[in-house]
Amino acid sequence: MTIAAVADARSPLGERLKAVRALSLALAGPLSDADATVQSMPDASPTKWHLAHTTWFFETFVLRDHVPGYRLHDPRWPFLFNSYYEAEGRRHARDRRGMLTRPSLDEVRAYRAHVDAALVAALPTLADAALELVELGCHHEEQHQELLVTDILHGFSENPLEPALWPAARKVPVAMPGPIAWVEGRTGIVQIGHAGDGFAFDCEGPRHDALLTPHALADRTVTNGEWQAFIADGGYREARWWLADGWAWVKAEAIVAPLYWEEQDGVWTRFGLDGRRAIDPAAPVTHVSFFEADAYAAWAGARLPTEFEWEAAAAGLDPAGGNQMADAGPVEPRPGGGLFGDVWEWTGSAYRPYPGFKPVEGAVGEYNGKFMSGQFVLRGGSCATPRGHARASYRNFFYPHQRWQFTGVRLARDL
Amino acid sequence: MTIAAVADARSPLGERLKAVRALSLALAGPLSDADATVQSMPDASPTKWHLAHTTWFFETFVLRDHVPGYRLHDPRWPFLFNSYYEAEGRRHARDRRGMLTRPSLDEVRAYRAHVDAALVAALPTLADAALELVELGCHHEEQHQELLVTDILHGFSENPLEPALWPAARKVPVAMPGPIAWVEGRTGIVQIGHAGDGFAFDCEGPRHDALLTPHALADRTVTNGEWQAFIADGGYREARWWLADGWAWVKAEAIVAPLYWEEQDGVWTRFGLDGRRAIDPAAPVTHVSFFEADAYAAWAGARLPTEFEWEAAAAGLDPAGGNQMADAGPVEPRPGGGLFGDVWEWTGSAYRPYPGFKPVEGAVGEYNGKFMSGQFVLRGGSCATPRGHARASYRNFFYPHQRWQFTGVRLARDL
Amino acid sequence: MTIAAVADARSPLGERLKAVRALSLALAGPLSDADATVQSMPDASPTKWHLAHTTWFFETFVLRDHVPGYRLHDPRWPFLFNSYYEAEGRRHARDRRGMLTRPSLDEVRAYRAHVDAALVAALPTLADAALELVELGCHHEEQHQELLVTDILHGFSENPLEPALWPAARKVPVAMPGPIAWVEGRTGIVQIGHAGDGFAFDCEGPRHDALLTPHALADRTVTNGEWQAFIADGGYREARWWLADGWAWVKAEAIVAPLYWEEQDGVWTRFGLDGRRAIDPAAPVTHVSFFEADAYAAWAGARLPTEFEWEAAAAGLDPAGGNQMADAGPVEPRPGGGLFGDVWEWTGSAYRPYPGFKPVEGAVGEYNGKFMSGQFVLRGGSCATPRGHARASYRNFFYPHQRWQFTGVRLARDL
Amino acid sequence: MTIAAVADARSPLGERLKAVRALSLALAGPLSDADATVQSMPDASPTKWHLAHTTWFFETFVLRDHVPGYRLHDPRWPFLFNSYYEAEGRRHARDRRGMLTRPSLDEVRAYRAHVDAALVAALPTLADAALELVELGCHHEEQHQELLVTDILHGFSENPLEPALWPAARKVPVAMPGPIAWVEGRTGIVQIGHAGDGFAFDCEGPRHDALLTPHALADRTVTNGEWQAFIADGGYREARWWLADGWAWVKAEAIVAPLYWEEQDGVWTRFGLDGRRAIDPAAPVTHVSFFEADAYAAWAGARLPTEFEWEAAAAGLDPAGGNQMADAGPVEPRPGGGLFGDVWEWTGSAYRPYPGFKPVEGAVGEYNGKFMSGQFVLRGGSCATPRGHARASYRNFFYPHQRWQFTGVRLARDL
């Protein structure tokens, strides 16, 4: 893990910690205890669990390990709120997280307050190694903030009443985007991976050379309107556009459209955090799987970019720009975005280690390396990514059938 | 359905309705919104769902069908709270009931209040057919009260913290029961099935002759202490005691003891509504499946009673006696009970129609008849059966592997 | 087990043994080694396995246990060919029987010859207990002959080429049967269960009194033509005719007609041992499950008979009459049959022990008793039942969804 | 697809065709009709199916499409023997291939003879495009020859008798290999992918530049003896060596050793085509999954090579050398091999398209591209690869849990 040097920036870290912790609470604000408790599928976790797990991370790796005399808020809770750290011992089964009606949402809030207070008190005296873990914990919590939002969306979608978490954002009329323009990318050897002394996850390094062949990237992502054309052309009914595993998935799951889409009286609608509404043809398509992204690209006579092509294009751009999540409120892809924000962009790159990658020692080292099989890399961040969390070198990853994140498609082609 | 004539007993029905409705609310009293929302397995339903479904039953079959001008509390809710009445149209998938974080527990309470008020207002003017449905609704709700209690127990058992719903009841020291005494039963033709003008479910009739062969019933149910001996003797490890389907179940599910039992430091404990405690060797064993009951009987050189033998023995006894649920509070089988209360007693009788049985016409007619395959009859009621709900002719039924109800064993043998 | 006294009829037993053993070989006559090896579903077994298992039964319970100095044909084979006798030790997994390409069909034939020779040689000196086991073995093998035929049919049905085992039998033109006539049955106490000194399986006794209520049985079974009317009337699409478990099965398995039926160009066809042909509207419907039989009866305003009603009607009739299997050749239900032969008739009786039933001691005692949960009784025998194997007291049993046997429906109603 | 120019080498192609077709028959030589018919798992196919499918490939893409007037051997068979070519229409379900007891092995041999004769007759007149398809068909059949051998091994392993296909090869005593020596690989830009005018599959191109970082490869593959040390050190019991998906697989499948290994009286044995024997500690470990290979490498402080590192090392070596399959007879990894033969070597590279890859148009174009998700690349060929089929650029691929091929491990490390 290439954790950035925290240098003497100690008070900023304290501010950042408070801001991150506050956003999580704010996201859970509109939720009832029940909303925050249920689990709609094994891939998703309850809000309460996200709130507690991110707290457990700080409690375990910072307070327990680096603050002498710290006493666990409740010694039975690590079993409940450890996610997957095998080195931290046995833990509650992932697919039974929705059974935890106790502790309540209020008790979890109290847990957060307890740990926050201890962290703030300890901060001035923590050694650098511990401060790095505090920073890691902030980034870790930001990851969970995005999951929290997408998991709530999934949970609400399972309720036939289709409740809205937030009112719809005011729509600004936008002209339909024109045809894709192709932007030629860099060719030859480029530097890939995190550089500099800012924070990055272990899997973003080591920085290394990569070789790019002549190619171009689309200047924008695929829109809902374009996706409708794919559907209308029988895209989901023709095997030839699909990877074999993707076609098996389409048939087994009876997939006919992106997740949350439903045709009502001839109109395609989508369910979102503001309820069910007609799709916006100008906005980026989202909630599509890698299989769908790849099939769409084949249908369109193009391909998905590699993660290196994407990173080379993004180098130098402001990763905090675009439509990302700044506070708790309406979240949705908007027309006309750039490389960062709106939707995570599926790449054609399998999630594998960079040359020279080594996991960190100890429990924290289970962070990313052990997921490096069967998943594909996504780049760029989405409308649900906390602003400030994105980076050009950031590697998100999901299985090729998963689509409950805000995932979309940018096309590429060979030159 | 042999619904009893309600005669001129109209005000008592109103009192009964209020009492039944109040008990359901009281049972849910200690629960949080989250406790009341989750679903721990497809067989179980959330408390909130029980509270709403029983209300839907009254709203649909009484208010909607018999009260001119009644408007549904919420026209979207019948889809959510219909259980299995095919004639009432499409409904929410049974195994997704735990996704309904909305409506909230409070909103469901408001639904109950709304319907209760409409029922009470309508009661003086309802025709007999409608009053019979009110009475049916009360019995229906009592059935769900028992499920509500056992479903909560199952849900809490899935929480590693093993919360207690109620404090433990005060234990009165009891002498260990002596060996079973055998009570000779009636032989020859007996009358079986509901008689008289009280309420009964359709499957309890028609009353008919049945033929009993010489037999005896044990004077008490099998105890936890006796069950320990069965375990210690390798009862769960020897195929010869088991039905083939039972043995397959034992191996597939790795069954080694009754549900909720756990050996801790050499002591058998059980989880109950008062948390985890050591088993009471004098109390009736409970949470055993038909397969276990049958295997135990084989091991003990006996057999299970038929439902007719049981009913003949129970005829004339007070069905409201014994340890049954009178209000919201600690519920557990106690040592020394009789035929009624404590534990439902598995019989060796498959749940099939009596001679001349005909389901009632219409949606209410789906009540019992359609479950008459693959299940076994239980008799007598349990500590979670609302007092007043039990009858000698009452036929409860579950699949042979199910055991989350308070189910136990009374032995029988041929003479 | 109420095994009949074999008395001094020793040479007839030898003749019978030879005839039974010869029929099994004849049934396998048209099969290739491959035909005899594959297993089309866990419920079915390969022909080769049937041939070997029935031989193992004689080798184990007669030769090994009663003939001093007998050496097993191959000491590794009991593991392969034990079916479900737990007391006989570990055995090959039932659903992997199709993996046994070795021993070959010829090697299994040699096994049969070896065991037959040893049996014939031993017969004159065997004690009565052993002779009873020889007789049991003959009946056991006859049971497997019927399974062998129905398992081959199922296997061939899985081959898209739909091969025919035998040429079609010559059809004799038959007038369409008229409407059902209702035959009043006996009322009051009747004697049920095997009587006399002939052979019977353990589950057919003890003989005991049973009480019949006023009823009538149809004078014939339901025909293919009548079943078409049920289909045309939407029988498979309306929940109200079905038991809940049956309806779930219809939806999960997409059931729309009896097994092996297929609509081709508007004509209903069925696959049989003579290939695929148009159904004969006058012939008894077959390959229907209990769920289908029960739904049909509900649709027809009738019910299924109880097993006691059926047995009372059959008492005194010739059980060897009707269309049963006399040698290896075309087998199919024919129009116009009586109570015995053509199709097994589903009864509404769950398969449970008679009063006073006790399994025999030892491995042979696993014969029938351990299957007494979840299954329904069928009576009468079918076109694939070896002639001489049927009895009025005979209790066949299958799970309510199973339908690869020649199973059909006779209606009953209350008077 | 970069199919090689066949140029004027027409008579050699005819010779090659005959040799390939003859080897398939020879491999099936020791099999009975039953051996050749059964299917032991969905991943495996029956021998008879391999023999017929490879024939269908020639019949369809060469004879039907390029030989005027050719009539199909049997018009019903394409449905049976198409594997996965969606463009060729509906086909028999992959996991039901074991149901095809008809056509028999002899009938399939006649099919082969029929098609072979037609091919040989047509060869002199075929256009280049068709000749390329003949060559493709030969390579396609060689792929199936390897599967045929490994599928038979898997099928025989499911038989508790554990039959041997061939007698054991004579073992030549070999000194235990010493410790691994590390061979430094090339660094910088290398050319990867098929070059020249020989045959290659589409996925081996386009040839392109790739960038290698400093690394070394082990001079030999991991041995059975070394694998025993991994087992003895608890390798299968410690999560820390495993990818998360791999660890889930180990637990779900109770994996404790390579496939076909069994500990008997303290000695590790393996099942092979010569039956069950003690493992040879000097021979390369085989039948390990990618998950196991990756875990072993982690435990050994190394990693798997990338497919580019491997190809760079293999460039210039004789791909026909080493222990590969030359005729029908004993097949097993041997001590002391090089990069080619003995065992396929798992690489750390996900199977994805090379820059500029495009599938060929038409049904043949479904050849490789559609499998490019979720699988990992293996290199080098095995003892069951037909000699002449291997190439430095050859990319084999399997899912990370699959291990019924002769798969092994070569370690790599960063320098």
Q: Which of B209, B243, B352 sits opposite C348 (nearest CB)?
A: B352
Q: With respect to residue B137, please indicate whether it lies within any of the assigned structural domains.
A: yes
Q: What gap in Å lies between CA C325 and CA C386, rounded to an integer?
A: 5
> Which pLDDT belongs to residue A146?
98
Q: Over 50: is that where the pLDDT of A178 sits?
A: yes
List pLDDT tens digits, range D199-221. Answer: 999 999 999 999 999 999 999 99
Mutation pick from D40, D96, D109, D161 vs chain C, by most beta carbons of C within 10 Å, is D161
Residue C215, SS3 per DSSP: strand
Is pLDDT of D23 > 80? yes
Mean pLDDT within B310-325: 96
SS (H, E, C) chain B: CCCCCCCCCHHHHHHHHHHHHHHHHHHCCCCCCCCCCCCCCCCCCCHHHHHHHHHHHHHHHHHHHHCCCCCCCCCCHHHHHCCCCHHHCCCCCHHHHHHCCCCCHHHHHHHHHHHHHHHHHHHHHCCHHHHHHHHHHHHHHHHHHHHHHHHHHHHHHCCCCCCCCCCCCCCCCCCCCCCCCEEECCCEEEEECCCCCCCCCHHHCCCEEEEECCEEEECCCCEHHHHHHHHHCCCCCCHHHCCHHHHHHHHHHCCCCCCCEEEECCEEEEEECCEEEECCCCCECCCCCHHHHHHHHHHCCCECCCHHHHHHHHCCCCCCCCCCECCCCCCCCCCCCCCCCCCEEEEEEECCCCCCCCCCCCHHHHCCHHHCCCCEEEECCCCCCECCCCCCCCCEEECCCCCCCCEECCCEEEC
Our count of domains for chain A comes to 2
Least trusted range by pLDDT, from A244-248, A355-359, D17-21, D33-37: A355-359
Q: Is B239 part of the contact surface with chain C (CB cutoff 8 Å)?
A: yes
User: Is D295 inside a domain boundary?
Assistant: yes
Question: Do D147 and D231 belong to one domain?
Answer: no
Residue A4 has what pLDDT? 31
- Contact: A160, B76; criterion CB under 8 Å: yes
The answer to whether the beta carbons of residues D288 and D401 sit under 8 Å apart is no
- Asked if the Cβ–Cβ distance from D160 to C79 is below 8 Å, we say yes
Q: What is the DSSP letter of D60?
A: I
Q: What is the mean pLDDT of residues B302-315?
A: 98
Within-domain flag for A399: yes
B96/A161 Cβ within 8 A: no
D46: its two tokens: 């029956």
Taking only the tens place, the pLDDT of each residue in A36-57 is 999 999 999 999 999 999 999 9
Task: Give yes or no: residues A81 and A198 share one domain.
Answer: no
Q: For residues D294 and D172, which has the higher predicted lDDT (pLDDT)?
A: D294
Per-residue pLDDT, averaged over A275-289, amounts to 97
Question: Residue A171's pLDDT is what?
Answer: 76
Q: Counting beta carbons within 10 angstroms of the beta carbon of residue A196, is it exposed (0 to 12), middle (13 to 18) or buried (19 or more)?
A: exposed
Q: What is the mean pLDDT of chain B?
A: 93
B407-408 and B344-350: which strand pairing? parallel
Same domain assignment for residues B140 and B214: no
Decide: B36 and B46 in contact? Cβ < 8 Å. yes
Residue D4 counted as domain residue: no
pLDDT digits 0-9 by tens, C62-78: 999 999 999 999 999 99
Cβ–Cβ of C373/B208 closer than 8 Å? no
Query: Considering the domain boundaries, does residue C357 fall inside one?
Result: yes
Chain B within 8 Å of A76 (Cβ-Cβ)? yes
Contacting residues of A for D400, CB less than 8 Å apart: 373-374
Q: Give the mean pLDDT of chain A.
A: 93
Q: In terms of Cα–Cα distance, which of C39, C42, C142 is closest to C98?
A: C39
Same domain, A239 and A115: no
Which of A235-239, B211-215, C2-6, C278-282 is least confident? C2-6
Q: How far is CA D8 from the centre of its chain?
A: 30
pLDDT at D80 over 50: yes
Strand D267-272, strand C376-379: pairing: unpaired
B71 touching C (Cβ < 8 Å):
no
Once rounded to an integer, what is the mean pLDDT over residues B298-326? 97
Task: Give the residue from C243, C250, C370, C414 with the most B CB atoms within 10 Å of its CB, the best one to mutate.
Answer: C370
Q: Say if residue D234 is in the same domain as residue D187.
A: yes
- Interchain contact A/C (3 or more Cβ pairs less than 8 Å): no
Question: Is residue D168 domain-resident?
Answer: no
* pLDDT of C414 strictly over 70: yes
Chain C residues closer than 8 Å to B242 by CB: 370
Q: In this model, does residue D11 exceed pLDDT 70?
A: no
A173 in any annotated domain: no
Q: Is the pLDDT of residue A264 over 90?
A: yes
C1 falls in which pLDDT band (50, 70, 90)? very low
D108 shares a domain with D69: yes
* Same domain membership, residue A223 and residue A113: no
pLDDT of residue D360: 74
D127: domain CATH number is 1.20.120
Would the CB atoms of B101 and A40 count as touching at under 8 Å? no
- In this predicted structure, the answer to whether residue D5 has a pLDDT above a threshold of 50 is no
Q: D109 is in which domain, residue-wise?
A: 10-157
The mean pLDDT of C152-168, rounded to a whole number, is 95
Supply the pLDDT for residue C41: 97
Q: Are both C271 and C238 inside the same structural domain?
A: yes
Confidence of residue D29 (pLDDT cuts 50, 70, 90): very high
According to the 3-state scheme, what is the secondary structure of chain A? CCCCCCCCCHHHHHHHHHHHHHHHHHHCCCCCCCCCCCCCCCCCCCHHHHHHHHHHHHHHHHHHHHCCCCCCCCCCHHHHHCCCCHHHCCCCCHHHHHHCCCCCHHHHHHHHHHHHHHHHHHHHHCCHHHHHHHHHHHHHHHHHHHHHHHHHHHHHHCCCCCCCCCCCCCCCCCCCCCCCCEEECCCEEEEECCCCCCCCCHHHCCCEEEEECCEEEECCCCEHHHHHHHHHCCCCCCHHHCCHHHHHHHHHHCCCCCCCEEEECCEEEEEECCEEEECCCCCECCCCCHHHHHHHHHHCCCECCCHHHHHHHHCCCCCCCCCCECCCCCCCCCCCCCCCCCCEEEEEEECCCCCCCCCCCCHHHHCCHHHCCCCEEEECCCCCCECCCCCCCCCEEECCCCCCCCEECCCEEEC
CA-nearest residue to B189 within chain C is C211
Q: How far apart are CA B388 and CA B407, in angstroms?
A: 19
Residue linked to tokens 């499957």: B203
CA distance A377 to chain D (A): 12
Query: Where does the pLDDT of residue C168 fall: very low under 50, low under 70, confident under 90, or very high at 90 and above?
Result: confident
Contact C98 D38 (CB under 8 A): yes
Q: Which conformational region is residue B301 in: left (phi greater than 0), alpha (psi within -120 to 50 degrees), or beta?
A: left
User: Do A80 and B160 make contact, defined as CB atoms within 8 angstroms?
Assistant: yes
CB pairs A-D closer than 8 Å: 77
pLDDT single digits (tens) C214-243: 999 999 999 999 999 999 999 999 999 999
Give the pLDDT of residue A272: 97
Are the CB atoms for B43 and B402 separated by under 8 Å?
yes
Burial class (CB in 10 A: 0-12, 13-18, 19+), B167: exposed
Side chain identity at residue A204, one-letter code = E
pLDDT(C11) > 60 = no
Percent of chain B with pLDDT over 90: 87
C308 at interface of B, judged by CB pairs closer than 8 A: no
Give the range among C154-163, C338-347, D75-84, D125-134 with minimum mean pLDDT: D75-84
Question: Do C66 and C20 belong together in one domain?
Answer: yes
What CATH number is attached to the domain comprising C208?
3.90.1580.10
Domain's final residue, options B142, B157, B172: B157
| Same-domain pairing of A234 and A132 | no
pLDDT at A359: 77
DSSP state of D393: T
Neighbours of chain D (3+ CB pairs under 8 A): A, C
Q: Is the pLDDT of residue C3 over 70?
A: no
CB contact under 8 A, C242 and B210: no
> Does residue C143 belong to any structural domain of this protein?
yes
Interface check for D94 against chain A (CB to CB < 8 A): the answer is no
Confidence class for position D279, pLDDT limits 50, 70, 90: very high
B213 touches chain A (CB under 8 A): no
Contacts of C125 (CB under 8 A, 6+ apart): none
C-alpha A257/C-alpha A279 separation (Å) is 12
B358 — pLDDT class (breaks 50, 70, 90):
confident
| DSSP class of D61 | I
Residue B351 near residue B299 (C-beta atoms within 8 A)? no
pLDDT more than 70, % of chain A: 96
pLDDT above 80 (res C172): no
Over residues A66-81, mean pLDDT: 96
Whether the ipTM is more than 0.90: the answer is yes
Residue A142 sits in the same domain as residue A211: no
Report the pLDDT averaged over residues B330-351. 95
Residues A241, A123, single domain; the answer is no
pLDDT at D8 over 80: no
pLDDT tens profile D352-396: 999 999 877 766 766 688 999 999 999 999 999 999 999 999 999
